[in-house]
Structures are given as C-alpha cells and as structure tokens.
Amino acid sequence: MARAELTRLTGNTNGGNCGQGDCPNVYRTASGSFVVQGDVSTAFTPPAGEGLVEIPEEVLREAVRALGW
C-alpha cells in the first residue's frame, strides 16, 4: 500500500513542524483500519510480521479530533 492511498489524520493542524511526513503520524486506510508511524520501540519483541512504534499522546488526540470522535 502506498502512502498516497492513506488518509493522513495528524500533522495537518496546530502548526506542527512535521514537514514531509517524517515524524509520528496516524493514517486511515480505505478499509477503515489505521497505520501508525513513529519511533521504533524495543519494549518487547512482537510476533513475526508485527512491529512496535511509539507515538506521542498528542498525536493520538489529534487523530481522534480529526475523526470527530
């Protein structure tokens, strides 16, 4: 799936300094699921095919506002 196929929910408001998508973000797919971009976390080892990322709470709050929840 290409980034162009995703709806970016964060980094578009509040005058953030996130330029070209190079910082934590939340995206929505056409099927309604979410893709999260953030710093790689080593909190634990996830199952094969999965990964862990850390994103700031403010990014999740921005995503919730963008969805109108």
Reported as a single tens digit per residue, the pLDDT across 21-44 is 578 999 999 999 999 999 999 999
Rg (CA), the chain: 13
Residue keyed to tokens 């578009």: 12
| Of residues 43, 12, 44, 50, the one with CA closest to residue 28 | 12
Contact between residue 13 and residue 47 where contact means Cβ atoms under 8 Å apart: no
What integer best gives the mean pLDDT of the chain? 88
Whether the predicted pLDDT of 9 surpasses 80: yes
Helix (H) or strand (E) holding 64, with range, is: helix 57-67
Token digits of residue 6: 């995703």
Q: Which two tokens stand for residue 52?
A: 């862990």
pLDDT score of 48 more than 80: yes
- Report pTM: 0.79
pLDDT of amino acid 13? 52
